[in-house]
């Protein structure tokens, strides 16, 4: 019987095998800023460990290439990701002499390529399995707990990104809180302002075109430029309005960053509110009128509940967007994970860049998964179905 090949699995397997067999598995630096020296898998790990990682990757690559059940593909991809992570976690003990506190070991391109390949395989398996929304959220929580346990185990303590964190733990927690505040605060403000504006635009076509046009113009302004444009007017307000400086309004800092993120957030919230209300079936509105409902009752009891999944989609777009854009806020003193990104760029310390970039990506990914599940749970098609 002819073998059945998986079209996505072939490039995934090829990329994974290239990543562990040919591409650099680790990068060794004598200190945190000098150029690094690449190490292959067999140079970065003792022979038994290297063979174990290679064996897992080859086995999972075989699973990827063939048309295997989605559940097996998911388990295999998770096992391969775990093997690669454990391998790079053990590399510093093999490459760095005991007592050397200056040397640094970072994941090489092979590690990132392998993680990307198996993450793609896992995503494809999840798409085929089509798990319910609550199962997806539960799986995300399990992954977060597993990764937290790996971090607490000390497995990755030898990696340079964790050494960068060790010297900045207090600062990291402070900037993490600031990053979340900027993203969530601007989202909350946009929802409070944008939802009524969306309702008004739906009710008045005269208002809709100029308002949405103006918000579209705001979206075309580069983020750095918008942050810069707000410095002068907010500086004037801080200098001339009594009490403004005391409550945090000033030319640089969190205030211009929060306002800029708020302005970027308005278009998705307003536009999705309009789209959701436009999509409300006429029959539902006519039935509400027939029951004698007032305009206010129809809005809150019929139109907004039916439009809610579309509105929630706009909120998802805003949150993921703002988590990324909040990184730029560090350029104007707004704080957040961007502090580490720009410090790392200035010091040519890429591991410091990763200290800011990795949690930003993880936070955006987790937010997208949770809100995607929430959108699906809120969709009318799922009413009455088990989650």
Q: What mean pLDDT do residues 60-73 have?
A: 93
The residue from 77, 110, 130 where one domain ends is 130
Residues 208 and 357 in one domain: yes
| Percentage of the residues of the chain whose pLDDT score is greater than 70 | 97
Q: Is the pLDDT of residue 28 over 50?
A: yes
Q: In whole angstroms, what is the distance from residue 167 CA to residue 137 CA? A: 33
Q: What is the mean pLDDT of the chain?
A: 88
* pLDDT for position 228: 80
CB-neighbour burial class of residue 217 (10 A; exposed 0-12, middle 13-18, buried 19+): exposed
Is residue 132 a contact partner of residue 362, using CB atoms and an 8 Å limit? no
We report the CATH number of the domain holding residue 350 as 1.10.3720.10
Is residue 95 a contact partner of residue 44, using CB atoms and an 8 Å limit? yes
Q: Residue 229 domain-assigned? A: yes
Within 8 A by CB and 6+ apart from 107, the residues are 25, 26, 27, 88, 159
Q: Which has more confidence, 5 or 114?
A: 114
In terms of Cα–Cα distance, which of 345, 331, 341 is closest to 33?
345
Q: Is the pLDDT of residue 301 over 90?
A: no
Residues 108 and 237 in one domain: no
Asked which of 96-100, 118-122, 128-132, 245-249 is least confident by mean pLDDT, the reply is 245-249
The residue from 130, 161, 189 where one domain ends is 130
Q: What mean pLDDT do residues 20-35 have?
A: 87
Q: What mean pLDDT do residues 169-180 have?
A: 92
Q: Residue 149 domain-assigned? A: no
Residues 182 and 312 in one domain: yes
Residues 178 and 118 in one domain: no
Q: Is the pLDDT of residue 33 over 80?
A: no
* pLDDT for position 381: 60
Per the structure, the count of domains in the chain is 2
- SS3 label, residue 69: coil
Asked which of 33-37, 67-71, 353-357 is least confident by mean pLDDT, the reply is 33-37
Tell me which H or E stretch contains 28.
strand 26-29
Confidence bin at 235 (pLDDT 50/70/90) = confident
| Percentage of the residues of the chain whose pLDDT score is greater than 90 | 55
Q: In whole angstroms, what is the distance from residue 343 CA to residue 70 CA? A: 43
* pLDDT for position 3: 61
Q: Is the pLDDT of residue 72 over 90?
A: yes
Q: What mean pLDDT do residues 98-121 have?
A: 90
Q: Which has more confidence, 371 or 386?
A: 371
Is residue 16 a contact partner of residue 79, using CB atoms and an 8 Å limit? no
Residues 231 and 286 in one domain: yes
Residues 22 and 90 in one domain: yes
**Where would I find the beta strands (DSSP E) of 59-150?**
104-107
pLDDT digit string (tens) for 120-165? 999 999 999 999 999 999 999 999 999 899 889 888 989 999 998 9
Q: Residue 21 sits in which domain range?
A: 9-130
Helix 304-325, helix 169-203: angle, nearest 10: 140
Q: What mean pLDDT do residues 190-218 have?
A: 90
DSSP 8-state assignment for residue 5: B
Residues 106 and 208 in one domain: no
The residue from 111, 130, 149 where one domain ends is 130
Q: What mean pLDDT do residues 340-352 have?
A: 87
Confidence bin at 237 (pLDDT 50/70/90) = confident
The residue whose two tokens read 């959108």 is 375
For residue 233 the two structure tokens come to 């007017």
Residues 226 and 334 in one domain: yes
* pLDDT for position 87: 94
Q: Residue 152 domain-assigned? A: no
Q: Is the pLDDT of residue 19 over 90?
A: yes
Q: Is the pLDDT of residue 384 over 70?
A: no
Residues 74 and 193 in one domain: no
- SS3 label, residue 159: strand
Residues 72 and 199 in one domain: no
Is residue 328 a contact partner of residue 179, using CB atoms and an 8 Å limit? no
Q: Residue 162 domain-assigned? A: no
| Distances from the Cα of 65 to the Cα of 23, 54, 354, 372, 384, angstroms | 20, 16, 32, 29, 39
Residues 220 and 313 in one domain: yes
- Residues in the chain, total: 387
Q: Is the pLDDT of residue 248 over 50?
A: yes
């Amino acid at each position: 019987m002819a073998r059945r090949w998986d079209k996505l699995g072939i490039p995934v397997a090829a990329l994974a095998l290239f990543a562990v067999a040919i591409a650099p598995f680790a990068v060794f630096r004598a200190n945190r800023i000098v150029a690094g020296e690449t190490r292959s898998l067999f140079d970065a790990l003792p022979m038994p460990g290297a063979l174990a990682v290679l064996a897992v990757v080859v086995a999972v690559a075989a699973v990827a290439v063939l048309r295997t059940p989605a559940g097996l593909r998911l388990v295999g991809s998770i096992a391969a990701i775990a093997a690669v992570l454990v391998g790079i976690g053990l590399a510093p003990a093999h490459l760095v002499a005991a007592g050397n506190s200056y040397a640094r070991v970072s994941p090489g391109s092979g590690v990132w390529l392998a993680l990307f390949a198996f993450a793609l395989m896992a995503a494809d398996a999840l798409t085929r399995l089509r798990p319910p929304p609550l199962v997806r959220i539960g799986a995300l929580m399990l992954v977060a707990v597993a990764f937290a346990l790996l971090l607490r185990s000390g497995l990755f303590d030898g990696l340079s990104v964790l050494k960068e964190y060790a010297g900045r733990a207090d600062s990291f927690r402070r900037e993490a809180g600031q990053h979340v505040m900027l993203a969530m605060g601007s989202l909350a403000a946009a929802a409070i302002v944008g939802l009524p504006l969306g309702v008004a635009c739906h009710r008045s076509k005269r208002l809709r075109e100029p308002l949405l046009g103006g918000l579209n113009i705001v979206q075309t302004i580069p983020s750095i430029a918008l942050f810069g444009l707000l410095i002068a007017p907010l500086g004037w307000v801080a200098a001339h309005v009594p009490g403004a400086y005391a409550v945090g309004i000033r030319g640089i800092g969190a205030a211009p960053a929060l306002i800029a993120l708020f302005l970027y957030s308005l278009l998705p919230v307003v536009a999705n509110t309009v789209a959701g209300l436009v999509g409300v079936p006429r029959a539902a509105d006519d039935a509400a009128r027939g029951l004698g409902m007032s305009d206010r009752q129809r809005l809150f009891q019929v139109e907004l509940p039916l439009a809610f999944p579309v509105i929630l989609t706009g909120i998802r777009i805003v949150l993921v967007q703002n988590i990324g854009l909040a990184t730029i806020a560090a350029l104007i003193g707004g704080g957040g994970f961007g502090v580490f990104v720009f410090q790392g760029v200035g010091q040519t310390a890429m591991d410091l860049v990763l200290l800011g970039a990795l949690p930003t990506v993880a936070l955006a990914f987790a937010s997208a998964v949770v809100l995607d599940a929430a959108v699906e749970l809120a969709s009318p098609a799922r009413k009455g179905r088990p989650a």
